[in-house]
Amino acid sequence: MNRNKEIRSAGLKVTHARKSILKVLETSKESHLSADSINKILIKKNDDVGIATIYRVLNQFVDAGICIKHHFDSEQAVFELSPIEHHDHMVCVKTGKVIEFEDDVIEKRQEELAKKNGYKIIDHSLVLYVEPIE
Amino acid sequence: MNRNKEIRSAGLKVTHARKSILKVLETSKESHLSADSINKILIKKNDDVGIATIYRVLNQFVDAGICIKHHFDSEQAVFELSPIEHHDHMVCVKTGKVIEFEDDVIEKRQEELAKKNGYKIIDHSLVLYVEPIE
DNA sequence: CTCAGTGCAAACTATTTGCAGATTT
DNA sequence: AAATCTGCAAATAGTTTGCACTGAG
Protein backbone atom coordinates (compact mmCIF):
# COMPACT_ATOMS: atom_id res chain seq x y z
CA MET A 1 0.00 0.00 0.00
CA ASN A 2 3.05 2.13 0.24
CA ARG A 3 3.01 2.96 -3.42
CA ASN A 4 -0.55 4.30 -3.16
CA LYS A 5 0.90 7.20 -1.25
CA GLU A 6 2.94 7.97 -4.32
CA ILE A 7 -0.25 8.26 -6.29
CA ARG A 8 -1.77 10.62 -3.80
CA SER A 9 1.30 12.76 -3.38
CA ALA A 10 1.39 13.22 -7.12
CA GLY A 11 -1.95 14.96 -6.72
CA LEU A 12 -3.82 12.06 -8.26
CA LYS A 13 -6.83 10.37 -6.80
CA VAL A 14 -6.30 6.83 -5.63
CA THR A 15 -8.66 5.12 -8.02
CA HIS A 16 -9.26 1.50 -8.81
CA ALA A 17 -7.62 1.78 -12.22
CA ARG A 18 -4.50 3.40 -10.83
CA LYS A 19 -4.15 0.88 -8.05
CA SER A 20 -4.59 -2.02 -10.44
CA ILE A 21 -2.05 -0.70 -12.91
CA LEU A 22 0.45 0.05 -10.17
CA LYS A 23 0.03 -3.42 -8.72
CA VAL A 24 0.70 -5.02 -12.07
CA LEU A 25 3.88 -2.99 -12.42
CA GLU A 26 4.96 -3.97 -8.92
CA THR A 27 4.17 -7.62 -9.07
CA SER A 28 4.75 -8.76 -12.63
CA LYS A 29 7.80 -10.96 -13.17
CA GLU A 30 8.55 -8.76 -16.19
CA SER A 31 9.71 -5.40 -14.97
CA HIS A 32 9.17 -3.75 -18.34
CA LEU A 33 5.63 -3.77 -19.62
CA SER A 34 3.82 -2.23 -22.56
CA ALA A 35 0.38 -0.66 -22.18
CA ASP A 36 -0.95 -3.55 -24.18
CA SER A 37 0.57 -6.24 -21.99
CA ILE A 38 -0.71 -4.51 -18.87
CA ASN A 39 -4.12 -4.53 -20.49
CA LYS A 40 -3.88 -8.26 -21.24
CA ILE A 41 -2.79 -9.03 -17.69
CA LEU A 42 -5.70 -7.08 -16.24
CA ILE A 43 -8.18 -8.78 -18.56
CA LYS A 44 -6.84 -12.14 -17.47
CA LYS A 45 -7.44 -11.06 -13.87
CA ASN A 46 -11.01 -10.04 -14.75
CA ASP A 47 -10.03 -6.55 -13.76
CA ASP A 48 -10.50 -4.89 -17.10
CA VAL A 49 -9.46 -1.25 -17.31
CA GLY A 50 -9.91 0.55 -20.61
CA ILE A 51 -6.79 0.72 -22.72
CA ALA A 52 -7.24 4.49 -22.96
CA THR A 53 -7.15 4.74 -19.20
CA ILE A 54 -4.04 2.60 -19.07
CA TYR A 55 -2.25 4.97 -21.41
CA ARG A 56 -3.50 7.98 -19.50
CA VAL A 57 -2.48 6.58 -16.15
CA LEU A 58 0.93 5.45 -17.35
CA ASN A 59 1.64 8.90 -18.70
CA GLN A 60 0.52 10.43 -15.45
CA PHE A 61 2.83 8.07 -13.60
CA VAL A 62 5.68 9.11 -15.85
CA ASP A 63 4.93 12.79 -15.21
CA ALA A 64 4.78 12.07 -11.51
CA GLY A 65 8.11 10.27 -11.62
CA ILE A 66 6.56 6.97 -10.59
CA CYS A 67 7.38 5.34 -13.92
CA ILE A 68 9.92 5.53 -16.69
CA LYS A 69 9.10 5.03 -20.32
CA HIS A 70 11.45 3.32 -22.78
CA HIS A 71 11.30 2.65 -26.49
CA PHE A 72 14.08 0.09 -26.90
CA ASP A 73 14.23 0.77 -30.63
CA SER A 74 10.79 -0.70 -31.23
CA GLU A 75 7.59 1.10 -31.99
CA GLN A 76 5.95 -0.02 -28.77
CA ALA A 77 6.81 1.82 -25.58
CA VAL A 78 7.40 -0.08 -22.35
CA PHE A 79 7.12 1.21 -18.80
CA GLU A 80 8.89 0.28 -15.58
CA LEU A 81 8.63 1.59 -12.05
CA SER A 82 11.25 4.26 -11.50
CA PRO A 83 14.34 2.54 -10.18
CA ILE A 84 15.93 3.90 -7.02
CA GLU A 85 19.32 3.37 -8.59
CA HIS A 86 19.77 4.22 -12.23
CA HIS A 87 20.44 1.24 -14.45
CA ASP A 88 20.88 0.32 -18.07
CA HIS A 89 19.39 -2.54 -20.04
CA MET A 90 20.45 -5.66 -21.84
CA VAL A 91 17.71 -7.07 -24.05
CA CYS A 92 18.03 -10.65 -25.27
CA VAL A 93 16.98 -10.72 -28.91
CA LYS A 94 16.15 -14.43 -28.71
CA THR A 95 14.00 -14.50 -25.59
CA GLY A 96 13.01 -10.87 -25.09
CA LYS A 97 14.37 -11.07 -21.56
CA VAL A 98 15.44 -7.74 -20.09
CA ILE A 99 18.42 -7.64 -17.75
CA GLU A 100 19.20 -4.55 -15.80
CA PHE A 101 22.75 -3.55 -15.06
CA GLU A 102 24.79 -0.62 -13.87
CA ASP A 103 28.41 0.22 -14.41
CA ASP A 104 30.34 3.10 -12.91
CA VAL A 105 33.09 3.00 -15.49
CA ILE A 106 30.60 3.62 -18.27
CA GLU A 107 28.67 6.24 -16.30
CA LYS A 108 31.77 8.24 -15.56
CA ARG A 109 33.02 7.98 -19.10
CA GLN A 110 29.73 9.33 -20.42
CA GLU A 111 29.99 12.39 -18.23
CA GLU A 112 33.48 13.07 -19.52
CA LEU A 113 32.45 12.71 -23.13
CA ALA A 114 29.51 15.06 -22.73
CA LYS A 115 31.62 17.65 -20.97
CA LYS A 116 34.29 17.42 -23.66
CA ASN A 117 31.61 18.51 -26.11
CA GLY A 118 30.35 21.33 -23.94
CA TYR A 119 27.27 19.55 -22.68
CA LYS A 120 25.95 18.10 -19.50
CA ILE A 121 23.91 14.92 -19.43
CA ILE A 122 20.20 15.22 -18.69
CA ASP A 123 19.48 11.59 -19.26
CA HIS A 124 20.83 8.67 -21.17
CA SER A 125 19.83 5.38 -22.59
CA LEU A 126 22.13 2.43 -23.05
CA VAL A 127 20.68 -0.76 -24.41
CA LEU A 128 22.72 -3.81 -25.32
CA TYR A 129 20.97 -6.15 -27.72
CA VAL A 130 22.42 -9.52 -26.93
CA GLU A 131 22.03 -13.23 -27.51
CA PRO A 132 23.17 -16.19 -25.42
CA ILE A 133 26.75 -17.27 -26.02
CA GLU A 134 26.68 -20.14 -28.58
CA MET B 1 27.34 8.05 -58.23
CA ASN B 2 29.35 5.71 -56.09
CA ARG B 3 26.46 5.05 -53.77
CA ASN B 4 24.22 4.03 -56.66
CA LYS B 5 26.37 0.92 -56.95
CA GLU B 6 25.27 0.10 -53.45
CA ILE B 7 21.68 0.19 -54.59
CA ARG B 8 22.37 -2.10 -57.50
CA SER B 9 24.46 -4.55 -55.54
CA ALA B 10 21.66 -4.86 -53.03
CA GLY B 11 19.61 -6.30 -55.88
CA LEU B 12 17.52 -3.17 -56.17
CA LYS B 13 16.84 -1.26 -59.34
CA VAL B 14 18.41 2.16 -59.54
CA THR B 15 15.25 4.21 -59.70
CA HIS B 16 14.62 7.89 -59.44
CA ALA B 17 13.06 7.59 -56.01
CA ARG B 18 15.97 5.60 -54.61
CA LYS B 19 18.56 7.97 -56.02
CA SER B 20 16.73 11.00 -54.66
CA ILE B 21 16.37 9.53 -51.21
CA LEU B 22 19.98 8.43 -51.12
CA LYS B 23 21.14 11.84 -52.21
CA VAL B 24 19.18 13.51 -49.44
CA LEU B 25 20.78 11.19 -46.91
CA GLU B 26 24.22 11.92 -48.31
CA THR B 27 23.94 15.65 -48.65
CA SER B 28 21.72 16.85 -45.82
CA LYS B 29 23.47 18.76 -43.03
CA GLU B 30 21.44 16.62 -40.63
CA SER B 31 22.81 13.10 -40.70
CA HIS B 32 19.75 11.67 -38.99
CA LEU B 33 16.50 12.09 -40.86
CA SER B 34 12.96 10.85 -40.40
CA ALA B 35 10.90 9.63 -43.33
CA ASP B 36 8.79 12.70 -42.90
CA SER B 37 11.68 15.15 -43.00
CA ILE B 38 13.07 13.44 -46.11
CA ASN B 39 9.64 13.87 -47.64
CA LYS B 40 9.58 17.56 -46.79
CA ILE B 41 13.05 18.10 -48.21
CA LEU B 42 12.10 16.40 -51.46
CA ILE B 43 8.91 18.42 -51.75
CA LYS B 44 10.92 21.59 -51.28
CA LYS B 45 13.18 20.43 -54.10
CA ASN B 46 10.14 19.83 -56.30
CA ASP B 47 11.17 16.20 -56.39
CA ASP B 48 8.18 14.76 -54.64
CA VAL B 49 8.32 11.03 -53.91
CA GLY B 50 5.35 9.42 -52.22
CA ILE B 51 5.73 9.01 -48.48
CA ALA B 52 4.90 5.32 -48.87
CA THR B 53 7.79 4.91 -51.25
CA ILE B 54 10.09 6.72 -48.87
CA TYR B 55 9.24 4.29 -46.11
CA ARG B 56 9.59 1.32 -48.45
CA VAL B 57 12.93 2.48 -49.79
CA LEU B 58 14.33 3.30 -46.36
CA ASN B 59 13.44 -0.15 -45.12
CA GLN B 60 15.05 -1.69 -48.17
CA PHE B 61 18.15 0.37 -47.48
CA VAL B 62 18.20 -0.86 -43.91
CA ASP B 63 17.85 -4.47 -45.07
CA ALA B 64 20.63 -3.89 -47.56
CA GLY B 65 22.85 -2.43 -44.87
CA ILE B 66 22.96 0.96 -46.56
CA CYS B 67 21.11 2.64 -43.69
CA ILE B 68 20.62 2.29 -39.99
CA LYS B 69 17.37 3.04 -38.22
CA HIS B 70 17.19 4.58 -34.75
CA HIS B 71 14.34 5.43 -32.45
CA PHE B 72 16.06 7.70 -29.93
CA ASP B 73 13.26 7.07 -27.44
CA SER B 74 10.72 8.88 -29.60
CA GLU B 75 7.90 7.47 -31.64
CA GLN B 76 9.38 8.65 -34.88
CA ALA B 77 12.23 6.65 -36.38
CA VAL B 78 15.24 8.38 -37.92
CA PHE B 79 17.64 6.99 -40.50
CA GLU B 80 21.30 7.59 -41.21
CA LEU B 81 23.70 6.16 -43.78
CA SER B 82 25.55 3.22 -42.29
CA PRO B 83 28.69 4.55 -40.70
CA ILE B 84 31.98 2.88 -41.60
CA GLU B 85 32.99 3.12 -37.97
CA HIS B 86 30.43 2.39 -35.32
CA HIS B 87 29.46 5.38 -33.23
CA ASP B 88 27.07 6.40 -30.50
CA HIS B 89 24.90 9.50 -30.23
CA MET B 90 24.53 12.57 -28.10
CA VAL B 91 21.23 14.36 -28.68
CA CYS B 92 20.86 17.94 -27.48
CA VAL B 93 17.43 18.28 -25.93
CA LYS B 94 17.46 22.05 -26.52
CA THR B 95 18.46 22.20 -30.16
CA GLY B 96 17.83 18.67 -31.41
CA LYS B 97 21.40 18.56 -32.65
CA VAL B 98 22.88 15.07 -32.94
CA ILE B 99 26.56 14.57 -32.18
CA GLU B 100 28.24 11.30 -33.01
CA PHE B 101 30.95 9.90 -30.80
CA GLU B 102 32.86 6.73 -30.17
CA ASP B 103 34.69 5.54 -27.11
CA ASP B 104 36.75 2.39 -26.76
CA VAL B 105 36.56 2.32 -23.00
CA ILE B 106 32.77 2.11 -23.13
CA GLU B 107 32.76 -0.38 -26.00
CA LYS B 108 35.10 -2.74 -24.22
CA ARG B 109 33.23 -2.44 -20.97
CA GLN B 110 29.97 -3.36 -22.68
CA GLU B 111 31.48 -6.56 -24.05
CA GLU B 112 32.66 -7.52 -20.60
CA LEU B 113 29.29 -6.87 -19.03
CA ALA B 114 27.47 -8.94 -21.63
CA LYS B 115 29.90 -11.80 -21.28
CA LYS B 116 29.58 -11.72 -17.51
CA ASN B 117 25.87 -12.40 -18.01
CA GLY B 118 26.43 -15.18 -20.51
CA TYR B 119 25.58 -13.14 -23.59
CA LYS B 120 27.32 -11.71 -26.57
CA ILE B 121 26.41 -8.35 -28.02
CA ILE B 122 24.57 -8.32 -31.34
CA ASP B 123 24.06 -4.61 -31.36
CA HIS B 124 23.77 -1.75 -28.96
CA SER B 125 22.42 1.72 -28.65
CA LEU B 126 23.84 4.41 -26.45
CA VAL B 127 22.22 7.79 -26.51
CA LEU B 128 23.12 10.65 -24.23
CA TYR B 129 20.43 13.28 -23.89
CA VAL B 130 22.30 16.45 -23.12
CA GLU B 131 22.01 20.19 -22.87
CA PRO B 132 24.62 22.92 -23.20
CA ILE B 133 26.59 23.65 -20.01
CA GLU B 134 25.00 26.60 -18.13
C1' DC C 1 -21.87 17.41 -3.88
C1' DT C 2 -17.96 18.51 -6.79
C1' DC C 3 -14.36 17.65 -9.64
C1' DA C 4 -11.28 14.38 -11.21
C1' DG C 5 -11.36 9.93 -13.43
C1' DT C 6 -13.18 6.42 -16.59
C1' DG C 7 -14.82 3.84 -20.75
C1' DC C 8 -16.09 4.10 -25.27
C1' DA C 9 -15.55 5.43 -29.76
C1' DA C 10 -13.62 8.50 -32.77
C1' DA C 11 -9.29 10.88 -33.94
C1' DC C 12 -4.43 10.96 -34.76
C1' DT C 13 0.41 9.80 -35.94
C1' DA C 14 3.69 6.81 -37.79
C1' DT C 15 4.06 3.23 -40.82
C1' DT C 16 2.58 -0.58 -44.00
C1' DT C 17 0.14 -2.70 -47.82
C1' DG C 18 -2.94 -3.75 -52.12
C1' DC C 19 -3.32 -2.53 -56.53
C1' DA C 20 -3.14 -0.55 -61.20
C1' DG C 21 -0.24 1.98 -63.85
C1' DA C 22 4.77 3.57 -64.67
C1' DT C 23 9.92 2.44 -64.93
C1' DT C 24 14.08 -0.11 -65.11
C1' DT C 25 16.73 -3.61 -67.27
C1' DA D 1 8.51 -7.61 -72.70
C1' DA D 2 9.26 -9.08 -67.83
C1' DA D 3 9.86 -7.91 -63.46
C1' DT D 4 10.33 -4.51 -60.28
C1' DC D 5 8.82 -0.12 -58.59
C1' DT D 6 5.77 3.77 -57.59
C1' DG D 7 1.86 6.60 -56.03
C1' DC D 8 -2.44 6.62 -54.22
C1' DA D 9 -5.64 5.49 -50.99
C1' DA D 10 -7.05 2.33 -47.72
C1' DA D 11 -5.40 -0.43 -43.77
C1' DT D 12 -2.89 -1.04 -39.44
C1' DA D 13 -0.56 -0.36 -34.92
C1' DG D 14 0.16 2.46 -31.15
C1' DT D 15 -1.48 6.15 -28.72
C1' DT D 16 -4.43 10.22 -27.63
C1' DT D 17 -8.72 12.80 -26.99
C1' DG D 18 -13.83 14.39 -26.60
C1' DC D 19 -17.67 13.44 -24.12
C1' DA D 20 -21.25 11.77 -21.06
C1' DC D 21 -21.22 9.00 -17.14
C1' DT D 22 -19.02 7.25 -12.65
C1' DG D 23 -16.62 7.42 -8.47
C1' DA D 24 -13.24 9.48 -4.93
C1' DG D 25 -12.88 12.82 -1.41
What's the structural domain count of chain B?
2
Mean pLDDT of chain A: 92
Residues B16 and B75 in one domain: yes
What is the CA angle A121-A116-B90, rounded to 5?
Answer: 45
Check whether residue A48 has its CB closer than 7 Å to nucleic acid strand C. yes
Domain boundary among B40, B59, B81: B81
Residues A55 and A117 in one domain: no
Residues B44 and B105 in one domain: no
Dump pLDDT digits (tens) for B30-59: 889 999 999 999 999 999 999 999 999 999
Q: Which helix (H) or strand (E) element contains residue A16? A: helix A16-27
Check whether residue B59 has its CB closer than 7 Å to nucleic acid strand C. yes
* Cβ-contact B28, B81 below 8 angstroms: no
A101 strand-pairing partners: A88
> What's the start-to-end Cα distance of chain A, in Å?
44
Residues B65 and B40 in one domain: yes
Residues B77 and B93 in one domain: no
Dump pLDDT digits (tens) for A30-64: 889 999 999 999 999 999 999 999 999 999 999 99
Residues A20 and A75 in one domain: yes
Residues B39 and B101 in one domain: no
The 3-state DSSP class for residue B52 equals: helix
Q: Are strands B88-92 and B119-132 parallel, antiparallel or unpaired?
A: parallel
Q: What is the DSSP letter of A82?
A: P
Domain boundary among B62, B81, B100: B81
Residue B85 has pLDDT above 90, yes or no: no
Residues A107 and A53 in one domain: no
Q: What would the mean pLDDT of A90-104 be, rounded to a whole number?
A: 88
Residue B2 has pLDDT above 70, yes or no: no
Check whether residue A56 has its CB closer than 7 Å to nucleic acid strand D. yes
Separation between the CA of A15 and the C1’ of D23 (whole angstroms): 8
Residue A1 has pLDDT above 70, yes or no: no
Cβ–Cβ gap A131/B119 under 8 Å: yes
| pLDDT tier at A90, thresholds 50, 70, 90 | very high
Strand D nucleotides within a 7 Å radius of protein CB atoms = 4-10, 13-18, 23-25
Residues A32 and A75 in one domain: yes
* Window from A49-63, B83-97, B101-115 with minimum mean pLDDT: B83-97
- Strand boundaries in chain A, DSSP class E: 67-70, 78-81, 88-92, 98-101, 119-132
Q: Which domain holds residue B110?
A: 88-130
Residues B77 and B110 in one domain: no
Residues B65 and B33 in one domain: yes
Residues A96 and A43 in one domain: no
Residue B38 is part of a domain; what is its CATH number? 1.10.10.10
Smallest Cα–Cα separation from B28: which of B44, B12, B13, B51? B44
So what's the pLDDT on residue B134? Answer: 78
Q: Which residues of B touch A (CB under 8 A)?
A: 69-75, 77, 90, 92-93, 99, 101, 103, 105-106, 109-110, 113-115, 117-133
Residue A111 is part of a domain; what is its CATH number? 3.30.1490.190
Separation between the CA of A130 and the C1’ of D6 (whole angstroms): 37
Model confidence, pTM? 0.82
Across the interface, of B118, B119, B131, the residue whose CB is closest to A119 is B131
What's phi and psi for A90, nearest 5 deg? -120, 120
